[in-house]
Amino acid sequence: MSNVNIIPKRERSPTPPLVSSPKTSGSWLVTPMPEDCQKSNPRWQEARRTWLSSEVTRFRELGLKVQKAFVRDDGLVIDWTSVRPVWPDSLQPVYPPENLGNGEVGSSVMSHNTIFQPVVDTFDKQGVRYTREEEIEYLAMELEERAIDFLARFAKAFDTNRNSLSGAYAKNALFSYCIHDIITLNSATAAFALSAEIQRFAHRSQSRNLLKSNTSKNLFNGPSEILNMIKSLGPHGFSSILSKELPYNVLPLKIGSKPCVFLSTHGYLSDLRDNTEKSISFDQCFILMREEDTEIDDNLRDSSNLWPLDKYIAVNMYRPYVCLLHVPVSLHTCFP
């Protein structure tokens, strides 16, 4: 009888189930996209902003910090971080084992995949890839929303409480204005013009003429100088128009590596003391920068007078925007 080597068959141990480990950062994909957020809806941009704001609010209520949020064709992507570990499939905090030793789960602990509806997929931050189009769309929505809020608040404060405008300017902010005459002052037509209306609003002696060699003259620096200059301006204001209806343009810029916003607007200022039809036409521009990217006056840093625009709906939503450069580039009389 021949010798036969018998090799015992050994069954492989079953692969243990994959268990997600706690995370302090990650990305969350909310899908599918609501129908009103589809580009077939004429108001899809407004709908997406509302959707994004709602989802970001949910993350904040969970104690999570939103680092980035933007909408793409397959849903809404939210990058998040947490000061304490959370389960990546539920975003609930990891509780100490002794709290669960009796097999009971506190009422505040929700089952997996029940926080958000619809159910969403999770994936590591390292796996996220953003296309340039997605970044631009997200940034454009964010900047426009912030600029509108800043402009609305500026117009209201200018009309009702100019002292509060000190909180809108960075420590190294600059302010100037220049007067543009659409009619030659010594012409016959000037006798019928409303050029005196400008003089009641802003003095020519403090106007900055960019055509002169000394372009730094009448350039006001810092919140204190700027506020004094603004308070010296005449009784004209924005009240005759809705600040939300002011025409505006928003352009994302960078100062070095720091993001900022160029905001320009134009319209009419009317005398707030009476119902006169006399008005001043203006063109105005701001350069806005995030509070953490510039210097803030120490007297304002812990003050409620600092401008935290709490309507931000995306990254750094808890950060204020402050004005770095404010140049009403043109003031001129207009006929009613």
pTM above 0.75, yes or no: no
CATH no. for 139-334: 3.10.450.50
Strand partners, 77: 29, 70
- The yes-or-no verdict on residue 83 having pLDDT over 70 is yes
Residue 142 clears pLDDT 60, i.e. is over it: yes
Report in angstroms the alpha-carbon separations of 37 from 101, 157, 308, 324: 45, 34, 28, 35
What are the phi and psi torsion angles at 179 (to 5°)?
A: -105, 130
Cα 24 from Cα 63, distance rounded (Å)? 12
pLDDT of residue 214: 60
- Answer whether residue 111 shows pLDDT above 70: no
Per-residue pLDDT, 308: 40
Whether the Cβ atoms of residue 328 and residue 68 lie closer than 8 Å to each other: no
Which ranges in the chain are annotated with CATH 3.10.450.50? 139-334
Mean confidence (pLDDT) of the chain: 67
> Does the pLDDT value for residue 285 go beyond 60?
yes
Give yes or no for residue 120 having a pLDDT over 50.
no
